[in-house]
Amino acid sequence: MREAPIAVFDSGVGGLSVLAEIQRLLPDESLLYFADCGHIPYGEKTPEFIRQRCSVMAAFFREQGAKALVLACNTATVAAVAELRRDFPDWPIVGMEPAVKPAAAATRSGVVGVLATTGTLQSAKFAALLDRFATDVRVITQPCPGLVELIESGDLHSAELRRMLKGYVDPLLANGCDTIILGCTHYPFLKPMLREMIPADISLIDTGAAVARQLQRLLAERDLLGAGPNRPVRFWTSADPQYFQNILPLLGQASGKVQRFAL
């Protein structure tokens, strides 16, 4: 079981930002990655739809013998992590949520901004997170429709992207945010562009590294940490595999074998 792979899931390429953190922290593990690109963006879908996609994905990864699942998607986590944990109680499942707790601890201005999908920001789970950790700070939330689609198209630099991103970030700055949470796994790929448009003393916080550490803890508790040698990452996409293959190097991954997932 220790040599079994770890499954990583996102609606698209965003989870690659989390995959990279897992590779850094746990280089001896073999990894599987499923991008549901045929159904992007999850941020504008209903929770029922996302839960249904997650149960298809989970059944697939169970068949592949995955020893743990990382839900490398904030939107899928708020919609489906509770059901997945109920359906697979024996499976270590790591979800993601916007980093409200560390941001509330870090802010000096007392104002925190959250960039995330509409689905994440509208969820009861996000509301509960604010109730729990953000009672002493002001939180300005900003849904970002359109960003995910541009990143999925491999765009990290265009004028259109810059205009859209600026439109989402400016209101946060105008409200005095000194800490901005990247609450969607696609957004860490925008850090270089964000850095160009915000003052240097504003912090950007995302949770990829924390998720990798949580995965490491869960595996260690169950004596499931792999000891290598790892195999190259195997990728599946519900859209065009060739397209996904081409985008991998743009997002920091060595190109790997990409297969079509037809369900």
* Nearest distance, CB of residue 187 and ligand DGL, angstroms: 8
* Nearest distance, CB of residue 196 and ligand DGL, angstroms: 22
Active-site pick, 37, 54, 73, 177: 73
* Nearest distance, CB of residue 61 and ligand DGL, angstroms: 17
Tell me how many degrees the CA angle 172-174-175 measures, rounded to the nearest 5. 65
Question: Is the CB of 96 or the CB of 112 nearer to ligand DGL?
Answer: 96
Active-site pick, 37, 54, 177, 184: 184
Question: Is the CB of 5 or the CB of 43 nearer to ligand DGL?
Answer: 43
Question: Is the CB of 70 or the CB of 178 nearer to ligand DGL?
Answer: 70
Check if 73 is active-site: yes
Taking the C-alpha atoms of residue 255 and residue 247, their distance in angstroms, rounded to an integer, is: 9
Residues that bind ligand DGL (CB under 6 A): 10-12, 14, 40-43, 73-75, 117, 120, 148, 184-186
| Active site (catalytic) residues | 73, 184
